[in-house]
Amino acid sequence: MFKTARMALLAVLFAGPAGPLFAADLPEPQVEEAPPPVVEQQPVDVGGWYIRGDLDYHWSRFGGADYITYGAAPQTQGSFASGSLKGALSAGAGIGYQVNQYFRTDLTADWMSRSNFRGSTVGFCAGGVPCVSTDTSSYSALLLLANAYIDIGTWHGVTPYVGAGIGGAWVKWDTLHNSDLDGDFFHQGGKGWRFAYALMAGASYCLTDRVKLDVGYRYSHINGGKMFEYASDSNVGPGYDHGINVHEVRGGLRYQFGGQSDCAPPPAAYVPPEPIYTK
């Protein structure tokens, strides 16, 4: 009986420290967390047709002009001693295609409203008296260009760009009024098509997902051509200008009506379903 009691007591004494020891040695169950979902961004295929409208203010630079003088002496060639052109307004429109996020092309037509001309010539009036004439006229032009642009990138809706264009200009000079000591003389203005090219730089800003505000600068050069016709009462003409350089500050809107605009929010990203784990 005592032997049995001692064995029971010893079992209780050893079970006390061993129980916690064995429990601490058991590994804790591992909790497996699901990995974060993989987000696959869908590529944005930017491109599509657009139309544009522009207004600008331009400053024209007169490149000089030559003319022929007839008389008792052999014909001679004269040149304007001075010449300047006033600034004027222009308006234009065009249609283009956004090839991708960084390249686009368009065809544009701009009407340059009348820019007033004032110049002078130095020569001899009746009796061989030296005299200086005052010459006034004006020109207007229709500029047609095929353009290509590089859109550098878009940051917070702003896209800077550079571009170049090539085409032609239909230039019309109004009547040239020539006034000197001999009186007033009038020469019919010249008109016709000329070669032209342009260089542009600017930036666009997303107003909506389809409409952009476009602000920039354009330099265009119009080749020389006939400025005025021969006038029999003055024995002078025809005259040919050396070309016109035009500096423009432009502002307008572009509306993209086809394809995916870079102003539109990107397509929703694909999120695969969360995996299900079983025990």
Q: Is residue 8 part of a domain?
A: no
Q: Is residue 100 part of a domain?
A: yes
Task: Provide the domain count of the chain.
Answer: 1
Indicate if the alpha-carbon torsion angle 60, 137, 75, 82 is positive or negative. negative
Q: Which tens digit of pLDDT belongs to each residue from 89-99?
A: 999 999 999 99
Q: What is the CATH classification number for the domain harbouring 196?
A: 2.40.160.20
* Contact predicate 262/44, CB 8 Å: yes
* Contact predicate 94/111, CB 8 Å: no
What type of residue sits at position 144? Answer: L
What type of residue sits at position 202? Answer: G
pLDDT, position 34: 56
Q: Is residue 186 part of a domain?
A: yes
Distance CA 138, CA 228 (A): 11
Peptide bond into 74 cis (omega under 30): no
Q: Which tens digit of pLDDT belongs to each residue from 258-268?
A: 888 888 776 55
Q: What is the pTM of this model?
A: 0.78
Q: Encode 210-246: b = buried (16+ Cβ within 10 Å), e = exposed.
A: bebebebebebbbbbbbbbbebeebebbbbbbbbbeb
Where the chain has pLDDT below 50, the residues are 12-14, 18, 21-23, 39, 41
* Contact predicate 203/160, CB 8 Å: yes
Q: Is residue 6 part of a domain?
A: no
Euclidean distance between the first and the last CA atom of the chain, given in angstroms as a whole number = 51
Q: Which residues form the domain of 189?
A: 48-256
Q: Is residue 279 part of a domain?
A: no
CA-to-CA dists, residue 64 to 4, 108, 245, 266, angstroms:
132, 28, 11, 53
Q: Is residue 40 part of a domain?
A: no
Q: Is residue 13 part of a domain?
A: no
Q: Is residue 41 part of a domain?
A: no
pLDDT, position 22: 45
DSSP string, 182-247: TEEEEEPBPEEEEEEEEEEEEEEEESSSSEEEEEEEEEEEEEEEEEE--BTTTTEEEEEEEEEEEE
Which one, of 153, 52, 144, 145, lies nearest residue 103 by Cα?
153
What type of residue sits at position 63? Answer: G
